[in-house]
A and B are shown apart, each in its own frame.
Chain A
């Protein structure tokens, strides 16, 4: 059973446009929500992460919006560039004594293509 549901499966955006990827979860014990970016032949790399005590976090062109009551969070990529073309994964975890105990629950991924 998928603990984190991610949509859409694929996304095509024009250069300069906004890419939006959505995730939803059921486990209210989750309190750490990272987003990972993966290029072909590479492992996932952390993009940005959020804790439930804030509703939004921005780092450069990347913004996470978090809605605790709806148990949803989303990634917005502003001014999307061809170099952003990759697979994006949302994830969730609990934190115990400052650690995830190594376990992240991942969404199925969104393949983003940005047309030049």
Chain B
């Protein structure tokens, strides 16, 4: 089974721009979560989508948004980029329901640099 894939792997943007990141989950997984990883704050949860609906949300400003398509692929958008948005953005997929531990499988991440 193919793992979680994320595109692009690296991005360089300037302040004020917007960016869209993409995540393809493991086949059969219906849940996709997004995390931001930085040296200062560690791994922080952004939001989770399950069957095209946002089911859970972390404490990030509205500039961070996402969506999920009918094939479970997900995109994350950040508008009006700030320098502090520079981070590794990780996507994780899981079955989303019915499993006792609902293991999350992470992709390799997208490294976003904001200049």
Contact = CB atoms under 8 A, between A and B. Distances in A.
The SS class assigned to the B binding surface is: strand
B56 A98 contact: no
Report whether over half of chain A's contact residues are helix, strand or loop; otherwise say mixed.
Answer: loop
B90 A106 contact: no
20 contacts: A32-B101, A34-B101, A34-B103, A36-B106, A43-B4, A43-B107, A45-B106, A46-B104, A49-B101, A98-B99, A98-B100, A99-B96, A99-B97, A99-B99, A100-B104, A101-B56, A102-B104, A103-B48, A103-B56, A103-B58
A100 B94 contact: yes
Contacts of A99: 31, 94-99, 102
A95 to B, nearest CB: 7
A46 B102 contact: no
A96 to B, nearest CB: 10
Q: How large is the interface on A (under 10, 10 to 19, 20 to 34, 35 or more residues)?
A: 20 to 34
B21 to A, nearest CB: 13
Given A99-B97, A103-B45, A106-B42, A46 B103 contact: yes
Interface centre among A41, A97, A103 (most CB of B within 10 A): A103
Contacts of A97: 97-98
B102 A100 contact: yes
Contacts of B42: 106-109
A46 to B, nearest CB: 6
Nearest to A109: B42
Contacts of B49: 102
B112 to A, nearest CB: 15
